[in-house]
Structure 1
């Protein structure tokens, strides 16, 4: 792969506005083209996100961001690290990059036609080569540090219903070995064969317990979807309906750069929406297991009591540990929901709630939930004067915080 020079950087940067306009068209074409020529790669990509168009849109935004900052990659922040962790969790390898590059460059030409001259195309070839080299290097280090590479068989030793939507799966290595350590907040990829698609499908799930060597626990939300808008979750449905105790599932090593800072004394604020509480449960569990006396505020918002997972667990943690407080909001409060026990507040999490229940000077803030939820809470915290580097977010699926 060729090195990019200053003139080529300028050409790539100059095309950023074109990508902003035509990016989704290019990326949709790219995925269709690549899958037609390399159907085996469907196993690496969420095909539901292809159907909804969210994955092409996410890729278009990422390509635009790279083009706009080609001369100052530091402006991309932690994006490279986050992408590399996702890739390593999916077992993306160096040999995949030339395939992606070939089809992406061809798609640019096939969509934009005569608007792309030979020098501009060569500049993009060099730019892609630079990005591929960066990611391959970061991913190589992640593979070296991983507990294993590729997919490893795990046995489901327990299956526990946590709410109407969320079920936990306790996973132990099928070979009888110890469960690996990990950083609280990390995730694993689980692979299941989806019959109506005819391919394996990977899904990433946060680990929802402290690292202790006994098991890995994932807590999976059944994705119901929305008729004629978003298809129901294929893998989550298979997990809920087709994976019972004793089953074997294929799992990758823990990955992810959204993780709890340990070995410090700063307060911890955990902000979650819906199933976004799963990494927060892992973080809180680890703090308790470590015997930490750090102040912990656990603030969780969900639609209603029926979908409130880990309610009794967090209540018990807050009762037993004076340094832990919990605040729960239900968007809809039912007749049988007990104030102060099941929930504390009614409605959605607002900036006023953040200031009252979540704002702690010098704390580290961890946020996980739907994209709009995370953006709102991040913006509220920054408006209160929280330094951006103290606000940590986790994004699953296709999407980005703008």
Structure 2
């Protein structure tokens, strides 16, 4: 908890620091990567850095954390901390990396705000940073312990047993231990990190939901190839460099380095109704949850909504339908921007997701995954239908630019 004097300073300076944080974070990353190029090459997502997504996410997280610390009536920032800590654990972040971030972040703050950063202001924001770091380190230590690992031993090899084409731009991989031993246990909705060594020698890491873990010896993931963002800069880092690497180079018998399962978006084990909503490749954690519900013989009411460009581009289309059909309380509605020759029906609709005609069960717990604009729109629709914000859970892959504003 912040000291009373520093709480006042943070509250008074939050508008200035928060207003400048978007200018501070690019300078911070530039300085840190200049001094530690291995962090950009082997840890941080180069595509997100090139697009500025990581900077905006960090800015939002810092501002949100500081705001919650000084707010009298706000709940503790547990959602923010858990989301970041799970991501950090899946990357193998170590405690000794926090002082590196501190050094270059505060150099950037001083550079941008200049004389406004008095010794008292610097000390107050220093306390915010180390409280945030301490909270994250505590959670990360617990996550590593629960996974039976530590930052130095996060990565272990798996072998690709099967590769399947799920749609024109999506492939799925079935992974197993090279020696056939059991893989770490996973909860429905969690993801693993995959570390790939690319052609230029960089090790880049991405997260992929476990679409299935039916037996302790196999995992399933699906990877959508992300086309490179158009740019006039020939040196620009392509947004989909890892997904395209996996599509072009990884086949049966190849090995990958992966983390244990992490992720705080996990299926509630109670008996409340479920509303599972996805778009595009956002269906992957939903597929994992449905496999679990089918495997455990769940009798819960489960309403599944999915949106996609067309049936042909819908990865796991048939699998989704078959899983819902196996649930006693399951129902499915799909929206496609292009239905082709398929006639519309109550369960197959043209256009974008429209919640107005969807019966939402009382007390339903919502799980939401897809592109950010899609989730923002659906969340507004759910709130308008009277669904409490506390019942709406979501997954974002890449920097989480929404949590601070959600």
Give the TM-score normalised by the residue count of structure 2.
0.92
Query: What is the CA distance between 1:12 and its match in structure 2?
Result: 2.1
Deviations 1:193-215 (A, max 9, x none): 1234x421110111111442131
Alignment-derived partner of residue 104 in structure 1: 105
2:373 pairs with 1:366:
no
- The size of the alignment, in residue pairs, is 393
2:173 pairs with 1:169:
yes
8 A contact 2:194–2:259 mirrored in 1? yes
2:92 pairs with 1:88:
no
CA distance in 1, matches of 2:333, 2:3: 53
8 A contact 1:148–1:252 mirrored in 2? no
CA distance in 1, matches of 2:374, 2:78: 21
Alignment-derived partner of residue 64 in structure 1: 63
Higher deviation after alignment, 73-82 or 321-330:
73-82
Alignment-derived partner of residue 144 in structure 1: 145
Alignment-derived partner of residue 231 in structure 2: 228
TM-aligned CA distance change 1:138 to 1:321, over 3 Å: closer
CA distance in 1, matches of 2:148, 2:88: 16
Query: What is the CA distance between 1:314 and its match in structure 2?
Result: 2.2
CA distance in 1, matches of 2:37, 2:317: 43
Alignment-derived partner of residue 203 in structure 1: 206
Query: What is the CA distance between 1:75 and its match in structure 2?
Result: 4.7
CA distance in 2, matches of 1:290, 1:221: 28
Alignment-derived partner of residue 178 in structure 1: 182
TM-aligned CA distance change 1:389 to 1:40, over 3 Å: same
CA distance in 2, matches of 1:320, 1:339: 23
CA distance in 1, matches of 2:66, 2:390: 24
Higher deviation after alignment, 272-281 or 388-397:
388-397
TM-aligned CA distance change 1:273 to 1:147, over 3 Å: farther
Query: What is the CA distance between 1:120 and its match in structure 2?
Result: 1.0
Counterpart selection for 1:12 from 2, 5, 10: 10
Deviations 1:165-211 (A, max 9, x none): 21111111124211222110001110011234x42111011111144
Deviations 1:222-274 (A, max 9, x none): 11144239934000000111111111111001001101011x22111110011
CA distance in 2, matches of 1:332, 1:349: 13
CA distance in 1, matches of 2:292, 2:15: 45
Matches within 5 A, 1:270-309: 270-309=276-315
2:46 pairs with 1:44:
no
Alignment-derived partner of residue 260 in structure 1: 267
Point out 4+ residue stretches in structure 1 off by more than 3 angstroms.
229-232, 318-322, 337-341
TM-aligned CA distance change 1:389 to 1:120, over 3 Å: same
TM-aligned CA distance change 1:267 to 1:210, over 3 Å: farther
Provide the secondary structure at the position in 1 that maps to 2:64: helix
Which ranges in structure 2 are unaligned for 5 or more consecutive residues?
Answer: none
Alignment-derived partner of residue 338 in structure 2: 332
CA distance in 2, matches of 1:126, 1:310: 47
8 A contact 2:48–2:239 mirrored in 1? no
TM-aligned CA distance change 1:303 to 1:358, over 3 Å: farther
TM-aligned CA distance change 1:226 to 1:350, over 3 Å: farther
Query: What is the CA distance between 1:147 and its match in structure 2?
Result: 4.5
8 A contact 2:181–2:217 mirrored in 1? no
8 A contact 1:359–1:381 mirrored in 2? no
2:189 pairs with 1:191:
no
8 A contact 2:25–2:105 mirrored in 1? yes
Higher deviation after alignment, 274-283 or 316-325:
316-325
CA distance in 2, matches of 1:41, 1:366: 33
Alignment-derived partner of residue 24 in structure 1: 22
Provide the secondary structure at the position in 2 that maps to 1:74: coil
Which ranges in structure 1 are unaligned for 5 or more consecutive residues?
Answer: none
Provide the secondary structure at the position in 1 that maps to 2:363: coil
CA distance in 1, matches of 2:57, 2:327: 41
